[in-house]
Structure 1
Amino acid sequence: MDKFRRISLMDIEYNLMNLNQLIFEVTDACNLRCKYCGYADLYEGYDQRENLKFPFHKAKLIIDYLYEYWKKQYCADVNKPISIGFYGGEPLLNVPFIQQVIDYLESLNPIGKKFHYNMTTNAMLLDKYMDFLVEKEFRLLISLDGDEKGQSYRIDAKGQNSFNKVFTNIQLLRSKYPAYFDHLVMFNSVLHNRNGVESAYRFIKDEFGKEPAISPLNNSGIRKDKVKEFYQTYQNMSESIKKATNCEALKKELFIKEPETSALLNYIHYMTGNVFDNCNDLILGRTGIPNPPSGTCPPFSKKMFITVKGRILQCEKINHEFALGQITDKKVELDLEQAAQQHNEYIFQYINQCKTCGVKQMCMQCVYQIDDIHDKTSKCNSYCSTKQHEKHKEYCLDYLDKHPELYNKILKNVVVR
């Protein structure tokens, strides 16, 4: 037990002062009806979609709340970057809100923060708002699942494939703002049974010169009556790569996006003793400051996500029931002591498994992604015995032995965290 520590109010205060990313769920409305959307019929655990738009006065409340923390970390001549994210639904359905938030942020007295803006969009309204996005230098993540067949789950309200509209808008953006497109536009492709890693990657790389992120369907929070349908739609990334016309060439191009190389990277990061997360680890050693159990992010250590209804969450990827606070019409309600206690209760219920887990040093399991988390006897999805860890170690080293060039490439080309 003494190898792990509980987080405290002070930890959360530190995270708020040094917040890296603030994300608003701009609206829960969307102009597409993607079958596999995390807010669609396959999943549960989110607030009912009601075509709401985030009210600006609530955004102002949370910005003012955080501003008081940010002032405590103010240091003259230092501008620490903070990313302001706009999420949906489809965020371009509520551009007036986005403009109000940006105008307000840029009206604040300097406190050593440099605001950057990012957005995930389906690109259906990109032609209408691209001038604004370029002006504010948005980092833009466009959802595109490849060619017309790959995009066929992304349909509009009339059931029509969104491919032609999205493809045309992306081409327009690239032709009108080539420098912006080259530097600030990225792509994400969801992997499913109508595309493949090779087809999605090749299409976007050949058409736009970009290497997309490839995301398998989320296998957490699936409705009990939709499990069969989910697995009919799901495609495993490693199996998809094996089906490629030239598997080894594709793996080489994907690099750390490829699951085996990603596993090797993770192994090198945690097990060599030569890679550190931060200065504290470098000076004190990884055992100098005990960590909380599991790979669950402490609240706001990476981001803060605000739902359209004002729920305050650690992340957009976890169920809304795990909210740590809320924004009412008049104030921010966030009890940091209670938030720390709630977080500790969830992660420490797996402490006995964590203590004997062979990969506790390199755990990436978020406990909020364990579907039966409310069952006190539930098992961690990623638990690994010492024997299983040894097999994993042998597998990683064997893979490195077969691909020795990866070691230098990882050390030279990859910045972790």
Structure 2
Amino acid sequence: MSVWDSIIGQDRVVRQLQAVASGDPKAIAQSWLICGPPGSGRSNLARAFAAALEDPDHGMADEPTRATQQILAGSHPDVEVLATDKVTIGIKEVRELIGISEQMPSTAPWRIIIIEDVDRMLERTTNVLLKEIEEPSAHTIWLLCAPSAQDVLPTIRSRTRIVNLAVPQPQAVADYLTKEVGAEAKVAQRAARLAEGHIGVAKLYASNELVMHDRDELIVGVLNLHRASDAVLLAASLIDSSSSQATRDAEQQIHAEELSFRRVNGLAEGDRIPPKLRSAYNAIGKKDQIKRLATRRTRDVLDRALNSIASIYRDVAVLQNAAEDSVGLVNLENRRAIADLSAQLDRQGAVRRLEAISQARRRLLGNGNPLLVFEALFCALLP
């Protein structure tokens, strides 16, 4: 099984990086910027590339080595990954990474530093990183990830080799869901279409019927907006369901981390935690930890809701421009209602509603009250 098997719909890039990993080590660029839209798999690609660079077989062996397994799982001593739940990546975290980057690798050919969402760095933090990116240690490779090259400072862009990922095609995503998730072909096809190329969301839709149901309810609710009272009720329903889903997801993640802790320490699920491990184990499920995870999950659910709402007006624009045969509809199940809406709105009306969705996203990023943000949005969507 190749380390590249989990990379979906990026054949061109995979071939490019395979050639780099198997080429002359002296010719390998040491600073990379991996760009792709949310859900395209840029973080997974960075890990796969790191595994191929560290593996003597460049990740192409029939069976993954222990080293590649560790890298893909995020536990290899020579591959450091910085991911954050915060709005910005702090300068202290980057300075710690720089210190690590100057250390010799312990078991592998390279010390590899992966920074997810490098676009979350403030300019001052980026300037701290800049010198290391420009003149990395001889044994260090930096893999930075961002939605696009335009989302990072020009000084970073000019000092990295840029890799651009495509939006995965629905069929590639559906094939992945059938093979890796075990989804039925019909469910996989629908999940891939509704996710619009976002692999993580497609996997969620294919494996969680409740999440798919919540999306269906949201689409029907938006298409049935007629009065301000409808907007207020729909906003309240969305916030309630997003909060419940986020708390449920956070609790599941905490439980998974607790099981992992037990497994790593040789404990069965029902075994008593030894006193020397108790404080570390209890820290996993602290209330503030669950609250922090739930807050992040709520942001994810609401962001996904905005994408779903936007897909309605994307479909409206497709019908208004007679482009259904060439690009298709996302919300095929609601085609009749969307066709009616496309007749009610002019083209500028569809554009204005997409702009209202973008404004709602900015307000949420600015810590606006979610209920008020969605009440205002749904009122702006009224025909």
Q: TM-score, normalised by structure 1?
A: 0.28
Which is helix-richer, 1 or 2? 2
> Which one scores higher on RCO, CA 8 angstroms, separation ≥ 6?
1
Which is strand-richer, 1 or 2? 1
